[in-house]
Amino acid sequence: MSPLRDSGANDHIMKAKTMNRREFLKTAGLAVGGLAASQFVPRLGFAAPNPRQLTIDTRTLEVNGKAATVYGLTENGKPGLTFAPGERFTVALSNRLKEDTIVHWHGLTPPWEQDGVADNPLPMLKPGETRPYDFALEEAGTFWMHAHTLQEQNLLAAPLIVHSKEDLSADRQEVVILLHDFSFKPAEELLAALNGGKGSHTMHGGHQMDMGGMGGKQMQHDMKSMGSGHDMSAMGGMGAMDLNDIEYDAYLANDRTLDDPEVVKVEKGGRVRLRIINGAASTAFHLKTGKLSAKLVAVDGHPVVAMTGDTFTMSMAQRIDLDIDIPQDGGAFPILALREGTGDRTGIVLATAGAKVERLRVKTEAKAPPLDLTLEATLRSTTPLTERRADKSVMAHLTGDMASYQWALEGLENLKLKSGERVEIAMMNMSMMAHPMHLHGHAFQVVDIDGKRFAGATRDTVLVPPMKTVTIAFDAGKPGHWPFHCHHLYHMVTGMMTHLEVS
């Protein structure tokens, strides 16, 4: 069994800063060279003298007994960033890769220029480039950071935690869990298998796609849990859904598979705050706390009226904060993430000193169901929007299918927003896949599911299952050209993405 390891989450001590301010501003100047500097530079005065140093690099993991080269986003060798209450997001991001890249601060509300999407407006960082970021962190919570490119698939993702004063005074051990899906194949190859040779991807009776020699197993559509065939014509387009575009080689929690999990040492009778991030590119999970009862206190970094349970759904990019009390007599407590529609599992183990940690299987016979909106419909924001009539109400349609692998988000093309306007967008999913929809630069409130109005969660990513309509409301935020897209990586890159103009 693995030795006990401290969770990186527990380390929220400010790191020593190495680059001095003058050095840093010199690098900053390089970063904005060639751009409409007048547009960008005025936002770049550093309020804090010492930026945090965040590095994009490669690292080697062992997955299923094989070495895997993956990306890493680290500060002093530790994944991601944790901010103290009141601290600004003052970060020097360095690209040590041999390729261009860029990082999006998922869930934060920076000025648009610093949102971190390629050419929107800034280009990707060149190899060796360092780029400065500096803006106020408006809310505490569990956020994350990831490449807004196919590089996300190969673990260019990390936690981004903003502490509140209450977090620091609460006597709770923090444990951060980043979930991911992993393939030894490059993302480009995974994508080509999904959409390459458009029109030639006919469905076959055995739920397999013709993989042209890649091995159908890789792209199996696991419908078995639903007891349904995958023949679209037989379904008449209704009644069954498509799950799991990609069969991965492994599902990871903090870079490890469940047969060699991270074991986090906890105290008997101790109080734990789990911050769980679904950083997977195209995999949704049910999070299970097993013998431990958990209190769900926040989703996507935003507090909800606390809900007690042991199973919570998490689509791609969603986060949950769970408060857990460890029993006085201690023990080992697996925290599991079950992949929807399959028996695949990943997770970590919370263990008190001396507790025996049983070996856990990465796959079970029992299959987890597809995600639905049961949890979403019961969530209530503790910081709801003030009630008022929407200035703009629009309907958007989510379209596409597995056969063509062309996905779209339609109906928002002419929407022009002004900061402060109340906006409601009803998203109707006309496709047979669920889509986790994410709006950049804003938090929104879920206010309606299939015509049932309620004051739901404040969050930044919401799942819209097939044939469901989910309405979100928000006040238009900072001016910008804000991406709005499905957070299934391969749906996004094949078209399920638009932008909201805020002036």
Q: Does 281 bind Cu ion (CB under 5 A)?
A: no
**261 burial level (CB within 10 Å; 0-12, 13-18, 19+):** buried
Closest to Cu ion by CB, 345 vs 468, is 468
Question: Is 245 or 344 the residue whose CB approaches Cu ion more closely?
Answer: 245
Minimum separation from the CB atom of position 253 to Cu ion (A): 23
Q: Which of 144, 134, 138 is nearest to 107 (CA)?
A: 144
Nearest-approach distance from CB 426 to Cu ion, in angstroms: 17
Distances in whole angstroms, Cα of residue 203 to Cα of each of 92, 98, 493: 47, 38, 22
Which two tokens mark 378? 């019961």
In the three-class reduction of DSSP (H, G, I as helix; E, B as strand; rest coil), residue 177 is classed as strand
Where does this chain touch Cu ion (CB under 5 A) — which range of 100-108, 179-187, 204-212, 429-437?
429-437
CB 433 to Cu ion: min, Å? 6
Nearer to Cu ion, 130 or 494 (CB): 494
**Nearest CA to 311 among 263, 347, 363?**
347
Smallest gap from Cβ 225 to Cu ion, in A, equals 19
Distance in Å, CB of 468 to Cu ion, minimum:
13
CA atoms within 13 Å, Cβ hemisphere of 282 = 25
Cα 69 to chain centroid distance, Å, stands at: 21
Pick one of 131, 146, 221, 435: the residue that binds Cu ion (CB under 5 A). 435
Nearer to Cu ion, 147 or 486 (CB): 486
| Span of 61-69, 355-363, 432-440, 458-466 interacting with Cu ion by CB under 5 A | 432-440
Minimum Å gap between C-beta 277 and Cu ion is 19
Stretch that binds Cu ion, among 253-261, 364-372, 428-436, 455-463 (CB under 5 A): 428-436
Nearer to Cu ion, 52 or 491 (CB): 491
Task: Give the nearer residue to Cu ion in terms of CB position, either 265 or 438.
Answer: 438
Site for Cu ion in 454-493 (CB under 5 A): 486, 488, 491
What burial letters (b/e) apply to 269-294, b meaning 16+ CB within 10 Å? Answer: ebebbbbbbbbbbbbbbbbbbeebeb
Q: Based on CB atoms, which residue is closest to Cu ion, 106 or 488?
A: 488
Pairwise CA distance, residues 474 & 479, whole Å: 14
Burial degree of 22 (CB within 10 A; 0-12, 13-18, 19+): exposed
Point out which span in 70-78, 350-358, 435-443, 470-478 binds Cu ion (CB under 5 A). Answer: 435-443
Measured from the Cβ of residue 17, the count of other Cβ atoms closer than 10 Å reads: 17
- In the bound state with Cu ion, the residue whose beta carbon lies nearer, of 245 and 323, is 245
390 Cβ neighbours under 8 A, 6+ residues apart: 422, 423, 424, 473
Pure H helices in 355-469: 374-378
Six token digits for residue 269: 């009778």
Q: How far is the CB of 429 from Cu ion (least distance, A)?
A: 9
Specify the residue, 468 or 491, whose C-beta has the smaller distance to Cu ion. 491
When computed from its CA atoms, the radius of gyration of the chain, rounded to whole angstroms, is 22
Residues recorded for the chain: 503
Question: How many chain residues are in contact with Cu ion, going by CB under 5 A?
Answer: 4
Q: Which is nearer to Cu ion, 80 or 495 (CB)?
A: 495
Q: What is the DSSP string of 91-151?
A: EEEEE-SSS-B-EEEET----GGGS--TTSSSPPBPTT-EEEEEE-----EEEEEEESSGG
In the complex, the smallest distance separating the C-beta of residue 327 from Cu ion, rounded to whole angstroms, is 40
CB of 431 to Cu ion, least distance (A): 8
- What values do phi and psi take at 267, rounded to 5? -90, 145
Q: How far is the CB of 284 from Cu ion (least distance, A)?
A: 11
Contact footprint for Cu ion (CB under 5 A): 435, 486, 488, 491
